[in-house]
Amino acid sequence: MSALLGRLFMLIGMIILPIGLLTGLLKGNVSLEVRLLFIGGAFFLIGWLIAKRPAE
């Protein structure tokens, strides 16, 4: 179950990251881009750590 939750968090992070990148490139809103990239990266990292834990 934790691997599934971890992969879900990783997927959410992978969806948020390109949205942040496109926001910065197309609209020129760098502060929102940095916030979205940080949030997406945090989701991905948390998901990776959850999925990496051994099954109990």
Percent of the chain, pLDDT > 90? 79
User: In the 8-state DSSP scheme, what is residue 23?
Assistant: I
Q: Domain residues for 48?
A: 2-52
CB contact burial 15-42 (16+ within 10 A = b; e otherwise): ebbeebeebbeeeeeeeebeebbebbee
pLDDT of 56 > 80? The answer is no
> How many separate domains does the chain show?
1
Q: What is the pTM of this model?
A: 0.85
Long-range CB pairs of 18-22, under 8 A, 24+ apart, other chains included? none
Q: What is the mean pLDDT of residues 36-40?
A: 95
Residue 1, SS3 per DSSP: coil
- What pLDDT, on a 0 to 100 scale, did the predictor assign at position 2? 85
Q: Which residue has the higher pLDDT, 43 or 1?
A: 43
